[in-house]
A and B are shown apart, each in its own frame.
Chain A
Amino acid sequence: MIIDPISIALITLGGVLIGLGVHFIPVGGAPAAMAQATGVGTGTVQLAAGAGLTGLISAGFMYNFLATSGSFTSSDYILVLASGAVGAMIMITVTMFMGQLVYVYCVGVPPVSAKVDKDPITGDQQDIYVSKGTEGHGVPTVSFVSGTIGGLFGGAGGSMVYIQLMQIGNAPADPAIIALAGIFATGVFYVNAVLASYNIGGTIEGFHDPKFKRVPKAVISCLIASLLCAIIAVPIMGGVS
Chain B
Amino acid sequence: MSAVEGGPASGGLPPNTIIAIGVIGGLAGIYLTMLNQTFNTTIFSVMGAIGSIFAVVWGADAVRRVCSYGLGTGVPSIGMVALGMGVVAAIFGLILPETGILPIPAILGPVISFIVAALIGLVIGSMSNKILKMNIPIMEKSMIEIAGAGCLVMMGLSASIAGSFAFNDAILPGVVSTGYIAIVFIGGAMTILHPFNANLGPDESQYRTLYVAVEKAALTMVIAGFASLTVIDTVSAAVTMLVGLLIFLVYFNKFMKSVHREAYKVVGTGLLPTAEELG
A residues whose Cβ falls under 8 Å from a Cβ of B: 1, 29-30, 43-46, 49, 175-176, 179-180, 182-184, 186-191, 193-195, 197-202, 217-218, 220-221, 224-225, 228-229, 232-233, 235-236, 239-240
Set B80, B96, B179: member contacting A194, Cβ < 8 A: B80
Rounded to whole angstroms, the CA-CA distance of A180 and B179 in the bound complex is 9
Q: Are A187 and B73 in contact (CB under 8 A)?
A: no
Rounded to whole angstroms, the CA-CA distance of A194 and B92 in the bound complex is 21
Interface residues on B, range: 35 or more
Set A45, A182, A221: member contacting B80, Cβ < 8 A: A45
Q: Are A176 and B73 in contact (CB under 8 A)?
A: no
Known: A45-B80, A220-B131, A240-B95. 13 other contacts (CB 8 A): A176-B172, A183-B182, A184-B87, A184-B91, A186-B185, A190-B81, A195-B128, A201-B134, A202-B73, A217-B133, A221-B128, A225-B120, A239-B95
Can you name the residue of chain A whose Cβ is closest to the Cβ of B98?
A239
Query: Which chain A residues lie closer than 8 Å to B176 at the CB level?
Result: 176, 179-180, 183
Can you name the residue of chain A whose Cβ is closest to the Cβ of B94?
A236
Q: Are A176 and B177 in contact (CB under 8 A)?
A: yes
In terms of DSSP, what is the predominant structure of the interface of chain B?
helix
B256 CB–A CB distance under 8 Å: no
Q: Are B116 and A198 in contact (CB under 8 A)?
A: no
Q: Are A225 and B72 in contact (CB under 8 A)?
A: no
B63 CB–A CB distance under 8 Å: no
Q: Are B132 and A194 in contact (CB under 8 A)?
A: no
Q: Can you show 13 pairs from A to B with CB atoms below 8 A apart?
A: A180-B91, A180-B176, A183-B182, A186-B182, A187-B85, A194-B80, A197-B73, A224-B127, A228-B123, A232-B120, A233-B92, A235-B101, A236-B91
Q: Are B91 and A225 in contact (CB under 8 A)?
A: no
Rounded to whole angstroms, the CA-CA distance of A46 and B120 in the bound complex is 22
Q: Are B131 and A49 in contact (CB under 8 A)?
A: no
Q: Are A189 and B84 in contact (CB under 8 A)?
A: yes
Can you name the residue of chain B whose Cβ is closest to the Cβ of A222?
B127
Q: Are B83 and A190 in contact (CB under 8 A)?
A: yes
B218 CB–A CB distance under 8 Å: no
Q: Are A191 and B124 in contact (CB under 8 A)?
A: yes
Q: A43-B1, A180-B91 are in contact. Are A198 and B185 (CB under 8 A)?
A: no
Rounded to whole angstroms, the CA-CA distance of A179 and B99 in the bound complex is 19
Q: Are B88 and A188 in contact (CB under 8 A)?
A: yes
Q: A187-B84, A218-B132, A240-B172 are in contact. Are A194 and B77 (CB under 8 A)?
A: yes
Query: Which chain B residues lie closer than 8 Å to A179 at the CB level?
Result: 176-179, 181
- Give the residues from 63 to 98 in chain B that come closer than 8 angstroms, CB to CB, to chain A: 71-74, 76-78, 80-81, 83-85, 87-89, 91-92, 95-96, 98
Q: A221-B132, A232-B92 are in contact. Are A30 and B120 (CB under 8 A)?
A: no
Q: Are B73 and A201 in contact (CB under 8 A)?
A: yes
Query: Which chain B residues lie closer than 8 Å to A218 at the CB level?
Result: 132
